[in-house]
């Protein structure tokens, strides 16, 4: 029992201390060593805490696999953890640990479903998470643990609702989640886990508001998020996960500023890039952090371009592409989403400035990616990338692009997104349809977005 107690410490306090440091190698070692002991131990404890500890070890390993983007291994670990928990008893002495572990395993299974765009599966697993969390809330009124778990489950259900197009329901889920996190912080104001959870919910509701074309309201939420995360990061130097949290928060704030045409957004994105780079240096094996680092670098280059410094933006994007090509081929291959994102922006920038040879090279490589997509069924190109690809091809061929009647049809009554509006403005400008361009710009300005981006880009290209 003493050895089993040590395993409990490894999977509890020690693992919790390693997560903020971002040391996936050490966290993996903890999970492996715990599994090695538990697998060799007597099965007499299977019905109680032993089953819970085995599930916790499997979940710990699954978390490592997720961060390394080893999705298949992660799914296997979480599924085995779920099966293991079915063997555990409902002894009242173990009930808190059991409900907590059941909820967390359900969360990770839902997370993988969401990444695979299986919204039904995600909704089912996040619903299971909510059931376990609410049961936990009923027996942890003093600690607030169940409050936090319930808030996380509600936030996750919000992400599913938004992915299904139910933005109003999503915002309600996020607001309920925020209320519960604030209640948990009233119980323990020093709870950094509650603080980061609150910051996460603020980012989700901010993103939903931005997609609802309310950039000023979104900016307020993102600023609240950044203040929360920055305060904790400054109190906990040396913990790389807080560098990542702050970097992501600054990226959100920079993104909305750029959407509103504010040059200060570039400073936010630069700071985000520096923070994420520092996090990656602490653990180069963390592919989630590395992917986010390349993403913000790409966003910084693109933002420079659309805000008027096209040459500087193209230089930044070219550097990012070279670094991606030199990086781990298993994660950033020739037709990866990360590379397609950079190449589509380079193709447009080169085409806009009349640099036809490099523009055509990017277009050829992107078309090759589309061929790979047709063969594999997996697309490295987002809708944004596809739109840039089509516009770039039109500019290179000196052909007027087709109209996109988003504002006329409303696509089922919904209001077009900022990206759709900006693309419509560019298409109108490239066709020389000044009245249509002005109409779209009025809509952009009414929402508070950068209304003159298309004019600025067209002047850069002398089009």
DSSP 10: I
- Give the whole-angstrom CA distance, residue 294 versus residue 303: 14
Q: How far is CA 109 from CA 103, 123, 157, 181, 287, in A?
A: 10, 10, 13, 23, 19
241 assigned to some structural domain: no
State the average pLDDT over residues 435-463. Answer: 92
191 domain-assigned: no
Q: Identify whether the C-beta of residue 273 lies closer than 8 Å to the C-beta of residue 289.
A: no
- Does 19 lie in the same domain as 83? yes
Question: Which of 381, 399, 417 marks a domain boundary?
Answer: 399
pTM (two decimals): 0.79
Q: Which of residues 59, 89, 119 is at a domain's end? A: 89
Claim to verify: residue 438 and residue 384 sit in the same structural domain: no
Distance of CA 147 to the CA centre of its chain: 24
CA–CA separation, 366 and 383 (whole Å): 13
Question: Same domain for 438 and 389?
Answer: no
| Domain identity same for 435 and 366 | no
DSSP letter at 402 equals: P
The pLDDT score that the predictor gives to residue 128 is 98
pLDDT digits (tens, 9 = 90+) for 49-103: 578 888 888 888 888 788 777 889 889 889 989 998 998 877 788 899 999 999 9
Query: Is residue 370 a part of any domain in this protein?
Result: yes
Cβ neighbours, 10 Å, residue 181: 29
Final residue in a domain of this structure, among 89, 123, 156: 89
H helix or E strand, kind and range, residue 421? helix 418-431
Residues 419 and 380 in one domain: no
Q: Does residue 409 share a domain with residue 364?
A: no
pLDDT, tens only, 330-375: 455 545 889 999 999 999 999 999 999 999 999 999 988 777 665 6
Residue 88 is given by DSSP the state S
Number of domains in the chain: 3
Residue 110 included in any domain = no
Task: Specify whether 10 is located in the same domain as 70.
Answer: yes
**190 falls within a domain:** no
* Higher local confidence (pLDDT), 415 or 445: 445
Q: Which long-range contacts (CB under 8 A, 24 or more apart) does 434-437 make?
A: 436/403
The predicted structure's pLDDT at residue 89: 74
Q: Kindly write down the DSSP assignment for every residue of 163-181, as one continuous string.
A: HTT-HHHHHHHHHHHHHHH
Contact 143, 187 (CB under 8 A): yes
| 372 & 418 share domain | no
Distance between CA atoms of residues 70 and 63, nearest Å = 10
Please indicate, yes or no, if residue 97 is contained in any of the structural domains: no
Range of the domain at 50: 1-89
In a domain, 150, yes or no: no
């Amino acid at each position: 029992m003493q050895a089993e107690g040590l395993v409990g410490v490894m999977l509890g306090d020690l693992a919790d201390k390693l997560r903020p440091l971002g040391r996936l190698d050490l966290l993996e070692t903890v999970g492996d060593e715990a599994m090695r002991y538990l697998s060799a131990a007597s099965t007499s404890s299977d019905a109680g805490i032993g089953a819970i500890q085995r599930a916790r070890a499997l979940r710990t390993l699954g978390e490592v696999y997720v961060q390394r983007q080893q999705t298949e291994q992660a799914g296997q670990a979480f599924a085995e953890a779920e099966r293991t928990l079915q063997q555990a008893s409902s002894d009242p002495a173990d009930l808190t640990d059991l409900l907590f572990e059941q909820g967390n395993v359900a969360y990770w299974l839902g997370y993988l479903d969401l990444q695979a765009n299986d919204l039904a599966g995600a909704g089912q697993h996040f619903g299971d998470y909510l059931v376990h969390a609410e049961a936990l809330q009923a027996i942890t009124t003093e600690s607030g643990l169940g409050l936090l778990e319930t808030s996380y489950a509600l936030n996750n259900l919000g992400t599913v609702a938004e992915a299904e197009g139910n933005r109003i329901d999503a915002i309600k889920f996020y607001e309920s989640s925020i209320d519960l996190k604030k209640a948990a912080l009233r119980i323990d104001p020093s709870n950094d886990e509650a603080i980061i959870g609150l910051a996460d919910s603020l980012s989700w509701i901010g993103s939903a508001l931005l997609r609802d074309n309310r950039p000023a309201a979104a900016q307020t939420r993102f600023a609240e998020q950044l203040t929360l995360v920055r305060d904790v990061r400054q109190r906990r130097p040396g913990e790389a996960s807080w560098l990542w949290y702050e970097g992501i928060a600054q990226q959100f704030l920079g993104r909305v500023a750029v959407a509103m045409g504010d040059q200060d957004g570039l400073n936010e994105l630069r700071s985000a890039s520096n923070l994420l780079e520092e996090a990656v240096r602490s653990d180069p094996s963390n592919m989630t952090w590395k992917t986010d680092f390349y993403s913000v670098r790409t966003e910084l280059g693109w933002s420079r371009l659309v805000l008027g410094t096209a040459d500087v933006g193209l230089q930044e994007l070219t550097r990012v592409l070279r670094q991606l090509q030199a990086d781990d081929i298993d994660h950033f291959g020739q037709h990866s989403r990360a590379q397609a994102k950079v190449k589509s922006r380079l193709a447009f920038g080169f085409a806009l400035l009349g640099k036809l040879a490099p523009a055509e090279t990017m277009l050829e490589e992107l078309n090759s990616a589309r061929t790979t997509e047709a063969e594999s069924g997996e697309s490295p190109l987002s809708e944004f990338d596809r739109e840039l690809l089509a516009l770039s091809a039109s500019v290179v061929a000196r052909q007027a692009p087709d109209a996109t009647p988003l504002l006329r049809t409303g696509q089922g009554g919904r209001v077009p997104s900022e990206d759709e509006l900006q693309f419509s403005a560019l298409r109108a400008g490239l066709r020389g349809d000044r009245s249509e361009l002005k109409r779209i710009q009025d809509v952009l300005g009414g929402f508070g977005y950068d209304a003159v981006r298309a004019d600025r880009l067209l002047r850069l290209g002398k089009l």
